[in-house]
Amino acid sequence: MFLYLKLMECHRTTAQIVLPVFYDVDPSEVRHQTGEFGQAFECLLSKLSKKKKKDKSPKWREALRGAAAFAGFVVINSR
């Protein structure tokens, strides 16, 4: 998750190009944190919140929403 925060920070501060690749997940599930992705994301956040006192979930949610809003590649069952 830290990677998403850094990617979005670099995009905002230095105008670097971000090209997301969504492998076997619908970008709208990432944008809205719903479906299987949303469940897995909530599970991850609950595990991390038990380990750390500082909650970064709002920043992570916003970074994922921003990354999912970019035009990118969707790869679903590409075998």
pLDDT at 70: 79
The whole-angstrom separation of Cα 17 and Cα 49 is 31
Contact status, residue 18 vs residue 7, Cβ threshold 8 Å: yes
- E-strand ranges in 1-79 read 21-23, 73-75
Distance, CA of 64 to CA of 79 (rounded, Å) = 26
Closest residue by Cα to residue 4 from 46, 58, 75, 73? 58
The pTM score is 0.68
Separation CA 18–CA 67 (nearest Å): 8
Task: Tell me the pLDDT band of 9, cut-offs 50, 70 and 90.
Answer: confident
